[in-house]
Structure 1
């Protein structure tokens, strides 16, 4: 499979290493030093594009891949206010889009656990739920896209929590997400349910970027030759 890497920072390089190990060919690498190569004609050289840039460029990059007729796997966070637009754009043009806030197999299993735990805890109003996420200091967005996904799963299953906030709050209806930036942490997410009687906590800690990179390549293998809009739940069958 021929892959275009749109975004060639630390994640892009980690994805390249895994992709080559799995027998794929990187035919385009777009980094900050060669943005002029991010063209429809160059993207068309690939079977699949993997996009890891930032919130300021992700939306346009996704649309460019759709216009090129190349399935796109997007892992950029911080741009989800425009996700529905990108989804509809892709569907209207019979493209293929797979977005995930986190491609790690372990994190996506953690999503499933978080959702189930939220369902189980919903009737028990004596517990208050909160979240902590820890990342390296170079991470551009806070809270993380993974934390937002976790928070939205909780909100979907809670009558008492109405919104997430990224600051301290004494309002019972606020789901507080604490964001910490500490090097060299690749990423830790902790969900805590606390009561006067006991506490329940689930945690996922990434040790390096390998899990994210491997999941992104698995997603690219999955979306190759397909049309539609997908998620990592489709890739992993969960």
Structure 2
């Protein structure tokens, strides 16, 4: 495939290497501050775009690819207040859009374990808390992955109806999320149920960006020649 890379930071460079190793070609790279290059993408032989940029740039990048009839895989977080708008735009334009808050296969297995545990704990007398830790370059907090985990709990556990970041005093229906930023940490997420008797926790620790990049490239391979709005459940057939 000929791939358009939107974003050429550490993640973009990792995706580039993995894509080339899998026999693909990087046809064009558009990095931060190069939005004028988006006008060029209609005239290129691009099969799919992979986008890991910043919340402020994501919507323009995604809509530009949809307008150019280029399927786009996005992993940028922090812009999801406009997700429904983008979904409707893609469907209206009959485009192809794939979004994941986290492209790691392991994290997506973790999502399912989290929902299963939340359902089991629905009637049990435990308190819940979450934490996430990422590198200091990550701007949004909590992470998109942490939000997905919290939403999975809310879907399966009647006790919780919302989440909040770093609240010392919460109401009983709120999931507290603590966010840490530490240099060179790819991503760690933990869910802890605790009581006076015992604690139950599940945790995912990423060792590098390779898992995220590999999943994004797999999503791009899967999305090519499709139309519609998709996510990791579609790719992994969960």
Give the match's secondary structure for 2:202: strand
Confirm whether residue 149 of structure 1 aligns to residue 148 of structure 2: yes
The answer (yes or no) to whether the contact 1:11–1:52 under 8 Å persists in 2 is yes
Match of 2:77 in 1: 77
TM-score of the superposed pair, with normalisation by structure 1? 0.96
Match of 2:87 in 1: 87
Match of 1:32 in 2: 32
Q: How does 1:172-211 map to 2 (within 5 A)?
A: 172-211=172-211
Give the match's secondary structure for 1:190: strand
Give the match's secondary structure for 1:5: strand
Runs of 4+ in structure 1 displaced over 3 angstroms? 40-44
Structure 1 gap segments, 5+ residues each: none
Any idea what the Cα deviations from partners look like across 1:123-147, whole Å, max 9, x if unmatched? 21x1111100001111010000000
Find the aligned partners of 2:156 and 2:41 in 1 and give their Cα distance: 45
Any idea what the Cα deviations from partners look like across 1:12-71, whole Å, max 9, x if unmatched? 101000000000000010112543222253574310000111110101111111000010
Find the aligned partners of 2:38 and 2:82 in 1 and give their Cα distance: 20
Aligned length: 237
Match of 2:113 in 1: 113
The answer (yes or no) to whether the contact 2:49–2:70 under 8 Å persists in 1 is yes
Find the aligned partners of 1:41 and 1:13 in 2 and give their Cα distance: 20
Match of 1:217 in 2: 217
Give the stretch that moved more between structures: 29-38 or 56-65.
Answer: 29-38
Find the aligned partners of 2:41 and 2:212 in 1 and give their Cα distance: 28
Structure 2 gap segments, 5+ residues each: none
The answer (yes or no) to whether the contact 2:47–2:70 under 8 Å persists in 1 is yes
Give the match's secondary structure for 1:3: strand
Any idea what the Cα deviations from partners look like across 1:133-168, whole Å, max 9, x if unmatched? 001111010000000000011111222212100022
Match of 2:18 in 1: 18
Distance 1:43 1:11, change over 3 A: farther
Distance 1:43 1:81, change over 3 A: farther
Match of 1:236 in 2: 236
Q: How does 1:148-167 map to 2 (within 5 A)?
A: 148-167=147-166
Match of 1:56 in 2: 56
The answer (yes or no) to whether the contact 1:166–1:177 under 8 Å persists in 2 is yes
Match of 1:138 in 2: 137
Deviation at 1:170, TM superposition (A): 3.6
Give the match's secondary structure for 1:39: helix
Confirm whether residue 127 of structure 1 aligns to residue 131 of structure 2: no
Find the aligned partners of 2:174 and 2:43 in 1 and give their Cα distance: 43
